[in-house]
Amino acid sequence: MKVTVAGSSGFCFGVKTAVAAAQEAVSNPPSGKPLVMLGDIVHNSMVVESLKKGGFTVADSASEVPEGAFVLVRAHGITPSEMEILRSRGCEIKDCTCPFVSKIHKIVRENALEGRNIIVTGGKGHPEVVGICGETYGTNVSCAVISSPEELETLDFPLSSAILVSQTTFSSNVFKEICKKAQNQIANKYVFDTICITTESRQKEAESLSGISDSMLVIGSSHSSNTTKLLDICKGRCARTFLVNSAEEAGRLIAEGKILPDDKVGITAGASTPEAIILEVVQKMNEDENKKTENQPLDSDFANALDSLAQVRRGAIVKGTITSADSDFVYVDVHDKSEGRIARREFESDPDFDLDKAVAEHAEVTVKVRSIKNSDQGKEIILSKNDVEAEKGRAEIEEAFNNKTPVEVKITRTVKDGLIGTYKGIDVYIHRTQIKHGEVKDLDPYIGQTMEIRITKFDTEKGRLRISGSHRVIASEERAKKSAEVWDNIEKGKRYIGTVRSLVDFGAFIDIGGVDGLVHVSELSWSRNAKPSDVLKVGDQVEVYVKEFDKDTKKISLGYKKLEDDPYYNIEERMPLGCIVKGTVVRLTKFGAFVQLEPDLDALCHVSQISSERLDKPEDALHVGQEVQAQVTEIDAEKRRISISIKAVAPIDPVKSEEEAVEAPAEEAAEAPAEGNEEA
């Protein structure tokens, strides 16, 4: 008996991801939260029962899920309304919707909102189809599910008004027939071939293998859409095609003579079939040979079958063992006749991976097969470790996009008008306006930083992935929460530590926790001539207090300058009447001189208090910049006024010219009585 296993057999990427997430939840259950599957995670009773034993229960609808539960959404996806119910119940949602299915949801949602009717090729009532049709709820369009070209004629709306999509596991041949019949009625741009590429490959391989096999086994559940499609395809090429769900069922076929000892047996499996079951079936097919060669290596046919199960084909995700490394490549045993190789730079770019240790310990690594080439020297298998991380990252980013949950990215470079952040090898574009509130002029300082963002765009159309994110959205939400807290607790006199957001001619706007308040320029400094930029700069942390506020207009007036900083604070104690002070002449007027005693503290010396002589103007005795001594004669703190007397300490008389000095004595002599007359 020669056994050949189709390369595309067993769990697809979406099912594998969902099962892995469920097993992780069983191993590390969320504290205090019941584990719930929204529908059987996979059409395989063995897997479902195993997860039930691990603590999971199955809910048929979102309304049955208990509040606060950990809910695993299977690869088939659910309707938006069910997702909303889960969120309203405070559930922790692990959305394992297959990326191919999510893409269909997006296509249907966008076109339904534009008023186009929807045609889905697939199985009526299938969970995936129900979820897809759910995207039309709340719109005025129709959603029809068909499974044959003839059903196009039964629709109650014109084909020209519709788009055509397909369930991911639908028959590719039937879909092509439906497209052919709808040709010239539905525009090409409204026909979306959304059949999963893995499904299409699986069907083609099954068709080819069944054509050269004497008997054909399709492993899987009769409830699985993709499994029943495989069964139909194989029956069309091989008369002795059987559906089995276990090794025991395969053994009965041998015992009943339905599969003969000399048969060429082909094996394929649906996307819901675990690899363990496939292995058991292969072993059962070779059971007689194994008995004959007990304790001996497996025969070559069986070894080939096991090799096939490794699925070492282009695009496959496989596990291997690191065997060695050189300056360019790391070599991995992927259970094929030839070793695969990974570019060494993939490991060098991962600072957490110890390559020397991995080689020494022959560590296991999960890789993706990039290409396979056959040559005279043998098979060349090119692998990638980063591609696996990228696929995981892509799925996680799409989940974050759908659930509106934040992710952390590392900023790696700048581009025109924005930044590029990476998440597990996936690039995310962040426009400069989405970095923070306010203008960002210099992008370079962000390189190397970690930034929390919300995924705002996840576009896979035209075969190119476009992802955008925003930190500003998160900051806005946080600011809104803080703002509500401020307005709930604000009161006059309350003090806050705030951040200077901006400076204007009339003052400074201070963020006191989600709310901006204004410190008027008159409240910034005791100096009358100070500008906002003289006192503060953007980004400063300052202490302010509430002077006035209006909840209706959302305006807050803040105070900043402190009483103890007032030049007139405690002035009577610092400069009591009669004390002697020193100062500098800073300004001269007709009525006197202003003398600066301290920064921002000027005193007036009246013109009559400068000199022992009568002055016409202060300039006759003083000049700006001159240092003087004076006595404090009056203080009025309320009117912010100080009077001083220079004359009371040391009068400053005007300096006379030489001519004035010579003439003055002659005039005085003429006025005085003669010396002789005085004696007489």
Catalytic residues, which ones?
128
Q: Is 663 helix (H, G, I), strand (E, B) or coil?
A: helix
Q: Is 191 helix (H, G, I), strand (E, B) or coil?
A: strand
What does the alpha-carbon distance between residue 269 and residue 227 come to, in Å, rounded to a whole number? Answer: 7
Q: DSSP readout, 8-60?
A: S-S--HHHHHHHHHHHHHHHSPPTT--EEEES-SSS-HHHHHHHHHTTEEEES
- Convert 590-606 into a string of H (helix), E (strand) and C (coil): CCEEEEEEECCEEEEEE
What does the alpha-carbon distance between residue 286 and residue 277 come to, in Å, rounded to a whole number? Answer: 14
What does the alpha-carbon distance between residue 44 and residue 51 come to, in Å, rounded to a whole number? Answer: 11
What does the alpha-carbon distance between residue 206 and residue 273 come to, in Å, rounded to a whole number? Answer: 15
Please write down the long-range contacts of 530-539, taking CB distance under 8 Å and 24 or more positions apart: 531/505, 532/503, 532/504, 532/505, 532/507, 532/508, 533/503, 535/508, 535/560, 536/500, 536/503, 536/508, 537/500, 537/503, 538/500, 538/501, 538/502, 538/503, 539/499, 539/500
Residues 578 and 631: beta-carbon distance below 8 Å = yes
Q: Which of 627, 637, 576 is nearest to 605 (CA)?
A: 627
What does the alpha-carbon distance between residue 285 and residue 278 come to, in Å, rounded to a whole number? Answer: 11
Residues 383 and 334: beta-carbon distance below 8 Å = yes
Residues 322 and 22: beta-carbon distance below 8 Å = no
